[in-house]
Amino acid sequence: MELNVPKTILLAGGVLVVPVLAFVTSFLFWPGALLKAYNWYWRRRLGLVVRYSHRGNYRFCYSSRGAPGGTTPSLLLLHGFSATKDMWLPVVKFLPRNQHVVCVDMPGHEGTSRTGPEDYSIRGQVERIHQFVQSIGLDKRPFHLVGTSMGGNVAGVYAATYPTHLSSVTLVCPAGLVYPTDSEFISRLRELEKGEKDESIPLVPTTIQELKDMLRLCCYTPPKLPRQVLSGLLANRIPNNDFYKEVFMEIVGEKSRHSLQENMHLITVPLQVIWGKEDQVLDVSGAAVLQGALPHCQVTVLDSCGHSVALERPRKAAKLITDFLCEQAVSDGNVKKVS
């Protein structure tokens, strides 16, 4: 029997098939591009807009939502090694919609200028972030600084160097300390330094298996990602691996490795510390180091959570930061009443 299908239905079906086919083809052959498109879509859903600012010839890339001047300070979020501003998307999702949020690509990462080693040391990154703060006028009012891992090291040293620019600071599993207990990652670094094993840098994967190993190292419960998604993640990273190695050598070098340890006694603004109890990259014993030096800091250790707090516990991280900001606002209000 011959089916008599109207031409309009055939046309509509053809129009539908084209984008579906394009999606499937992109997923199979260009998974890296598809992941970037996904982040673009997610930023758009969250109201984040990608912007650029300049300091001389140096370009900063950042995403932001809202405007400064609300009831709480602006938030500046610093990501970790080899990540991008988009690593904060899961956390931003749970922040109040009226909160002014700025997520910046760290020096050399993603859309921010790539220069040389002088900018990749912790002190170099601190100075570049300070330039960024000035370039967008964030220094006109004290803001809250959040940093994780490498970004936590930078945030801590920034707080020690430019305390008048900050209202408070949150350090999430920060690098830059002398940890009483070695993590799995630190143990592997020691082996690399001794040259006992011919291994790649654990945080700079070059194969799918190395990427899986990195995810297991960074997450208490690694996400179960399809192979095509893993391929996309790897495809986006591999072109930058030489840069990542250069940054890595700077931040583990003598001048940067213990930057936070050497400067933490200079932090005078209210400090919040968040750490995953099962962190295998930077051991949770670092939280006690900070609390010992700064007894008034607020420490929260998250059970069943590894190094990637923003990925594993985004809702909890957002709530902890928001509650901390509210507490500081109440404290500031009481001080003003007394004075």
Question: For position 33, what pLDDT does the model report?
Answer: 81
**Catalytic pick from 79, 100, 109, 307?**
307
**Catalytic pick from 53, 279, 283, 308?**
279
Number of H helices, E strands in the chain: 13, 8
Helix (H) or strand (E) holding 166: strand 166-172
Question: For position 245, what pLDDT does the model report?
Answer: 95
Domains, the chain, with CATH or none: 47-338 (3.40.50.1820)
Question: For position 31, what pLDDT does the model report?
Answer: 66
Q: Which of 96, 90, 78, 108 is nearest to 38 (CA)?
A: 90
Q: What does the block give as tokens for 270?
A: 């209210």
Question: If you write DSSP's letter for every residue of 87-111 in order, what string do you get?
Answer: GGHHHHTTS-TTS-EEEEPPTTSTT
Q: For every one of its 339 residues, what pLDDT tens digit does the chain have, with 9 covering 90 and above?
A: 334 444 443 344 444 444 433 334 334 445 678 888 889 999 999 999 999 999 999 999 999 999 998 889 999 999 999 999 999 999 999 999 999 999 999 999 999 999 999 999 999 999 999 999 999 999 999 999 999 999 999 999 999 999 999 999 999 999 999 999 999 999 988 887 777 555 689 999 999 999 999 999 999 999 888 888 899 899 999 999 999 999 999 999 999 999 999 999 999 999 999 999 999 999 999 999 999 999 999 999 999 999 999 999 999 999 999 999 999 888 766 545 544
Asked if 265 is an active-site residue, the reply is no
Asked if 307 is an active-site residue, the reply is yes
Question: For position 334, what pLDDT does the model report?
Answer: 55
Question: For position 186, what pLDDT does the model report?
Answer: 93
Question: For position 70, what pLDDT does the model report?
Answer: 80
Asked if 279 is an active-site residue, the reply is yes
171 pairs with which residues across the strands? 147, 273
Cα 207 to Cα 120: distance, rounded to the nearest angstrom: 25
Question: For position 90, what pLDDT does the model report?
Answer: 97
Instruction: Spell out the residues 6+ positions from residue 88 whose beta carbon is closer than 8 angstroms to its own.
Output: 77, 79, 103, 310
**pTM confidence score:** 0.89
**Catalytic pick from 82, 149, 168, 256?**
149
Q: Which of 166, 172, 178, 120 is nearest to 142 (CA)?
A: 166
